[in-house]
Each structure stands twice: as structure tokens, then as C-alpha cells.
């Protein structure tokens, strides 16, 4: 067990405590840096993969809701993924393309009627 210091009075103690023995100050559970800050240094996936997955997800969402918004978004994200050499981008482009095409035709039919 590492010993810690109270941020208020510098009283040293060991183990996990919620309050300082000496002055009663509430102690942070993790005085070590927040692990979320390290995410940018250790990417779980590459940028291309990220765009590819986002494009695919947008494409799937566009199949069910607001296709006119998520369809183009899927295409754009797919293109961004392809620019970063991730072939998953094709999935977003194809799904987004179909959705935009179908939504466009449906829109035209509504307008023409
Ligand atoms: Zn203290």
C-alpha cells in the first residue's frame, strides 16, 4: 500500500480512506491523474476505423430515422474513412447512398403528387 497525504494538512496515512484522520478533510479516491485524460495517447482504434464505424452506424440509423440527415452523414463519414484507407467506409457510403436515393425518390413522389 502506498501512503498518501492529506491535501489540506499534509497528514500522512496509508490505505484507502474517505476522510483525513487528522483534520477530517474529504479525500479524493484517486489522487493519480484521471485515466480518461490518457485516452488520446492510447487510441483504441485508428481515425479511419472510427470514421468507418461512425459511417456504418449513421447508415444503419438512417435506415430507420431521419434518413435525409443520417444518409448524407454516413456518406461523408464513409468518404473520410476511405481517405484514411479504411474500407469499412464503403459500408457507410453504400448504405447512405441507398437511403438518400430512396428518400429522394419518396420525397419526389410526395412533391409530384
Ligand atoms: Zn488532513
Distance from Cα 27 to the centre of ligand 1, integer Å = 8
Q: What pLDDT does 47 receive? A: 80
Q: Which three-class secondary structure state does DSSP give residue 103?
A: helix
Q: Are 81 and 51 spatial neighbours (Cβ–Cβ below 8 Å)? A: yes
56 Cα to the center of ligand 1, angstroms = 52
Q: What is the mean pLDDT of residues 83-93?
A: 83
Degrees (nearest 5) of the Cα angle 39, 43, 46? 150
At 2, the pLDDT band (50, 70, 90 cuts) reads: low
Q: Categorise residue 41: left if φ over 0, alpha if ψ from -120 to 50, beta otherwise.
A: alpha
Tell me how far the alpha carbon of residue 67 is from its chain's centroid.
21
Distance CA 42, CA 39 (A): 5
In the chain, where are the structural domains located? 1-35, 47-112
**Distance (Å, whole) CA 31 – CA 71:** 45
Question: How far apart are the CA of 20 and the centre of ligand 1, in A?
Answer: 5
Query: How many CB atoms are closer than 10 A to CB 98?
Result: 16
DSSP E strands, the chain = 3-5, 12-14
Tell me the whole-structure pTM to 2 decimals. 0.47
Q: Is the pLDDT of residue 33 over 70?
A: no
Q: Give distance in angstroms: CA of 36 to centre of ligand 1.
A: 27
Which residues, by Cβ under 5 Å, contact ligand 1, an ion?
A: 6, 8-9, 11, 20, 22-23, 25
Q: Which grid cell is 3?
A: 501512503
Mean pLDDT of the chain: 78
Amino acid at each position: 500500500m502506498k501512503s498518501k497525504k492529506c491535501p489540506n494538512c499534509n497528514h500522512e496515512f496509508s490505505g484507502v480512506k474517505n476522510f483525513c484522520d487528522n483534520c477530517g478533510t474529504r479525500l479524493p479516491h484517486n489522487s493519480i491523474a484521471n485515466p480518461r485524460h490518457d485516452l488520446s495517447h492510447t487510441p483504441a482504434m485508428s481515425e479511419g476505423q472510427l470514421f468507418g464505424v461512425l459511417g456504418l452506424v449513421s447508415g444503419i440509423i438512417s435506415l430507420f430515422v431521419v434518413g435525409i440527415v443520417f444518409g448524407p452523414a454516413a456518406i461523408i463519414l464513409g468518404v473520410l474513412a476511405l481517405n484514411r484507407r479504411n474500407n469499412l467506409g464503403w459500408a457507410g457510403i453504400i448504405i447512405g447512398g441507398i437511403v438518400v436515393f430512396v428518400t429522394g425518390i419518396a420525397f419526389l413522389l410526395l412533391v409530384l403528387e
